[in-house]
Each structure stands twice: as C-alpha cells, then as structure tokens.
Amino acid sequence: MTSDSVIGIPGRDRRRQHRQALLLEVGVIALLALILIFLMPVILSGFRLSLLGRFLALAIAALGIDLIWGYTGMLSLGHGIFFAIGGYALAMHLQLAPVEAGTLPEFMNLYGVTELPWFWKPFDSFGFAAICVILVPSLLGALLGYLVFRNRIRGVYFSILTQAATIVFFNFFNGQQKLFNGTNGLTNYKTLLGANVNAPQTQFVFYTLTVLFLVGAYVLSRWLTRGRFGNLLIAIRDDESRVRFTGYNPTGFKVLVFGISAGLAGLAGALFTIQTGIISPKAMDIAFSIEMVIWVAVGGRATLVGAILGTLVVNFAKSLLSERFPDIWLFFQGALFLIVVTVLPDGLVGWWRSHGVERMRSLFGLRKRVITYPSLEEDPEVQQERENLGARD
C-alpha cells in the first residue's frame, strides 16, 4: 500500500488536481492579459493607460525582488542599479538611432565631445542594445553576487553592501556629463526601428509588449519557484547552514537567482524608459531601490502575485494622492505603509490566503475548509477539547 492511498488521496488524483490547478492558473493569466491589452485602453484615458504601462514595467522588477527576498531571503537595497543599466542600454540606442553616421548625440556636442566613445558604437545596433538590456545587468548581478556570496555574507551585511554599490554607481553616472549627460540623463528619444517613439500607436505597442513581458516574467518566476529548485530556494532562505550540511552549495543557487533577478530589473528599466522618455541616475537612488522592496512587502512576500499587486496598488495610490493632496500626500503614503506593517505583516495576498478566503466562504454560507480529516475537524469532542485547551492558555 502506497503512502498516497494511506491518506486517501491516490497519486493519480493528486496529479489530476495539479493539472487542473495549472490549467486554471494559465487561464486566469491569459484572461488578465487580454483584459489589460484590449479592455483597459477602452476604459482608461491615455494618461492613465500610460501610467498603467509604466507600473506594469515596474512590476517586472518587483518580481525579481520577490525571487531573491521572498523566496531566497536576500534583501537587496540596490536593485535600482540593474534597473537603470537596462534603461541606459536601450536609451543609448535611442540616442544614436536618429543621428546620421559620423555625428554625435546632441548632448555630447554641448560638452565638446568630438568622437563617439568606443563603447557607444555597438549600441547603434538595436539587437545589440536589446541583448545588453538583460545580459549586462544579469552578468553584473551574478558577478556582484559571487563576490558576496562566496564569502558567506548575508543578512543585513548583504543589504548594506547593495546600498554601498548603489552609491558608487549613482555617483559614477551622475558625474559623467560627457558620456551619459550626468544628472540630466538620456532623454529626447525620437525613433526606434523607424517608428516615432512618441506616437500614440507606438506607445500602445510598448504597452502591449510590457504586458507580454510581464506575463513571461511571471511564468519564469513561477517555474523557478516550483519543484525541487523552488524548495531549495526556500530552504536557503529558512536555514542556509542546514542546506550546506546536506551537501548543497548555496552559493551557486544564490548567484543564479540574483543574476536572473538583476536581468528582470534591467528589462523593467528598459520598458519603463521607453514609456517615460527619460533615464537618469535618479533611478539608482537608494530611495527608489527601497521603494521596490516596499511594493513586494505591501503585496506579500513569496507570492509573486503579491509583487505585481503591491506595485500597482502603491504606485497608483501614490499617483492619485499626489494629484488630490499635493501638500500632504506623503503622510497618506506613510500611513499606508504603517498599516501594512502593523495590520497586514504578510501583505495583501498573505492576508487573503490566511483570512480573506475563509471570510468569503463564511459570507456565502460555505463550510470552512479543513486540512486534515473533515470528520476529525467536525467532531464535537475534538472541538470541546480545543476550547478547553484555549481556556487553559
């Protein structure tokens, strides 16, 4: 007799339930993507749709944060580096696209640059720039992660190191007026593959691509966090020393996940840049990196869906409050974070899973779900014993 038959759930039924849950999830994702692409442009104004596109791009970066923080236990406060590098990689191509061969971007002429820097030249190719959007942040994240994780640096020291790296990159890009236009950043984009970047039709294409890339990022993250690999990430988060004792080397897994997370941040930075029309060292500010963590905390760590939901909720709340209460909106934002930390420590999705579902079931008169034998849960003697134990405590 197998262990599955002992608990009353045959292995075949379990696999069928798994397939049904997977098909349901795929259906929900496809439905939400169709709603975002076809329904939202009808409901929202052009301005709100533009904001939604930007926030969906930010949600891709939040998924990367959830991968390393929620599932692997690495709190990065420097993901703005990878976000900005992805944005700069695409922006460099956008600066070169409208100019003729042998000429320089406009800002370089202002600073007296006479020859295009050698590392700018390959970005004249869109394919090269598109690859660099993901590859450069991924390699940089993997390198930084390897240097840190091989020395078994973790916890608050890891967070401090990522903050220090952010300061270094921010000061470097901020001081490079001739190479990256310094504080002003790269802006004034005109064409991409022959299309007018600022045309409404082109911007809608960017919005649609953002939705599709977000779906792809979610599928990738979902795949990584399932099965043995996902269990290993959670084990590293909960007790890395025990993982080492069992024969695994967490360094390689942490480097891989950190590199993937950095690549997602780079992709998010490129999509955000093309929709906002600017990338500057401000994206490398420590405050922005901390905001990414807040999005995940509000939505719920280790949920993936929570990372996306938290990004949309926080950024739309920030936008609406700043419009209606320009003088005091920061107080509302601070109150929102305090409420989440004190009342909803597991985030919105965490609260829904632990309490919200049962409240909805009771609202519709449905029986409470049980995780053991229903007959045991509903036995009056068992309930009486629980009440007696609770009274003693």
pTM: 0.88
pLDDT tens digit string along 82-124?
A: 999 999 999 999 999 887 777 889 889 888 888 999 999 999 9
Count other C-beta atoms under 10 Å from residue 322's C-beta.
Answer: 14
Residue 67 one-letter amino acid: L
Q: Looking at residue 336, what is its pLDDT? A: 76
Is a pLDDT exceeding 90 seen at residue 63? yes
Q: What is the pLDDT of residue 4?
A: 47
Q: Is the pLDDT of residue 7 over 50?
A: no
Band of pLDDT at residue 73, cut at 50, 70 and 90: very high
The predicted model gives 253-275 an average pLDDT of 97
Per-residue pLDDT at 2 exceeds 50: no
